[in-house]
Amino acid sequence: MTFVNVAIHQVTHTCPANPQPHVVDTRRVIVAYVPGGPCRQPIRVRLNNSTVMVACGRRLPAARQCPACRITVIERDIITTHLGYEGPQRSASEAAAR
């Protein structure tokens, strides 16, 4: 099984359109990659007059792939940075009037 470890950094903020904190940017960085090795169930594909063997990971859905071709993504770190309110600044008199 191929393992991919990913670190995720999310940036959130609040704004006039949505006062609840929400994600505005997401960055993903691959931290580690552990290959699963060669395919254990190659598939025969015919092309014109020739036959080629390809990895099952290139042709089959994930549920039918061999363990070497199947990919597992592991979220290692999830970091959230909140920027606070982003929008037009209200004056003290406008805030008091509301």
Does pLDDT of 92 surpass 90? no
Domain membership of residue 14 as a residue range: 2-88
Mean pLDDT for all residues in the chain: 88
Q: For residue range 6-42, list pLDDT tens digits in order.
A: 999 999 999 888 889 999 999 999 999 999 999 999 9
Total number of domains constituting the chain: 1
Residue 29 counted as domain residue? yes
pTM (2 d.p.): 0.66
Q: Which long-range contacts (CB under 8 A, 24 or more apart) does 27-33 make?
A: 30/4, 30/5, 30/6, 31/5, 31/6, 31/7, 31/76, 31/77, 32/3, 32/4, 32/5, 32/76, 33/2, 33/3, 33/4, 33/5
Q: How confident is the model at residue 86 (pLDDT cuts 50, 70, 90)?
A: confident
Residue 69 counted as domain residue? yes
